[in-house]
């Protein structure tokens, strides 16, 4: 089993919630890359985004992911846009077992309808924004992931169990050679 487990997906897909429980079950530290970034910035990602823009944020995110994927084994939850850069996609896939927590834009909207902390969703029509994000990012998440887990309505416990089963099986993802 790979000692580093990486969770990717759109905002609200459950990366942090699932990641915390998964880390407890695996007896590994849980690391949220967005929390690490905010700690270093000394302000929220939203504030930084508004002040500096997306590119400087993505530069910092790339540097933090480089560092976190070289560190100790952990369960790593990434920001929703971490896959936008090819270097991040390659690094995450090469240095961990990557699980894409896939949700529909409609399901995400149900979960996030009262959330005011996510900078990319502070728009007039957040559902349309989620649909746009999904259209752009879904292929990138799939390219990066070893496994796609549909989050739909299963409980967090069931999602964690599903990931644990995949880790135990060591099952290769589509297009990947079986491990020997």
Binding-site annotation, residues for substrate: 34, 58, 80, 137
Greater model confidence, 153 or 119: 153
Mean pLDDT, the chain, as a whole number?
88
**Residue positions forming the annotated binding site:** 12-17, 34, 58, 80, 118, 137
More confident residue, 25 or 12: 25
Residue 170 has pLDDT above 80, yes or no: no
Q: Contact, 144 vs 9, CB < 8 A?
A: no
The count of other CB atoms within 10 Å of the CB of residue 161 is 15
Which tens digits make up the pLDDT trace of 93-144? 999 999 999 999 999 888 777 666 665 667 778 889 889 999 999 999 999 9
Which pLDDT score, from 0 to 100, does residue 115 have?
67
pLDDT at 178 over 70: no
| pTM score | 0.89
With b for 16 or more beta-carbon neighbours within 10 A and e for fewer, the 118-153 pattern comes to: bbbbeeeebbebbbebbeebbebbeebbbbbbebee
Rounded CA-CA distance 141/166 in Å is: 18
Annotated binding residues for Mg(2+)? 16
Enumerate domains of the chain plus CATH numbers: 5-168 (3.40.50.300)
With CA atoms as reference, report the closest residue to 58 among 30, 31, 89: 89
Return the pLDDT at 62.
97
Average pLDDT over residues 42-49: 90
Question: What residues form the annotated binding site for ATP?
Answer: 12-17, 118
- The predicted structure's pLDDT at residue 98: 97
Q: Using CA atoms, how far apart are residues 14 and 72, in angstroms rounded to an integer?
A: 23
Angstrom CA distances, 142 to 9, 24, 37, 83, stand at 10, 26, 24, 10
Mean pLDDT is lowest, of 8-12, 15-19, 25-29, 151-155, for 151-155
**DSSP-based three-state secondary structure for 158:** helix
pLDDT attached to residue 152: 80
- Each residue of 66-89: pLDDT tens digit? 999 998 899 999 999 999 999 999
Secondary structure (3-state) at 76:
strand
- Tokens encoding 119: 């900078």
């Amino acid at each position: 089993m790979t000692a580093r487990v990486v969770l990717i997906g759109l905002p609200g897909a459950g990366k942090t919630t699932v990641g915390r429980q998964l880390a407890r079950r695996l007896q590994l530290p849980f690391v949220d890359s967005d929390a690490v970034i905010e700690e270093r910035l000394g302000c929220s990602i939203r504030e930084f985004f508004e002040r500096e823009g997306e590119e400087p944020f993505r530069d910092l995110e790339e540097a933090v992911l480089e560092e976190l994927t070289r560190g100790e084994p952990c369960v790593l939850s990434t920001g929703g846009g971490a896959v936008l850069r090819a270097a991040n996609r390659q690094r995450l896939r090469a240095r961990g077992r990557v699980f894409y927590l896939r949700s529909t834009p409609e399901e995400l909207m149900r979960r996030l309808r009262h959330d005011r902390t996510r900078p990319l969703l502070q728009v007039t029509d957040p559902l349309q924004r989620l649909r746009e994000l999904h259209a752009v990012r879904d292929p990138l998440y799939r390219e990066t992931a070893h496994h796609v887990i549909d989050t739909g309505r299963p409980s967090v416990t069931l999602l964690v169990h599903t990931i644990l089963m995949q880790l135990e099986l060591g099952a290769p993802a589509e297009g990947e050679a079986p491990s020997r």
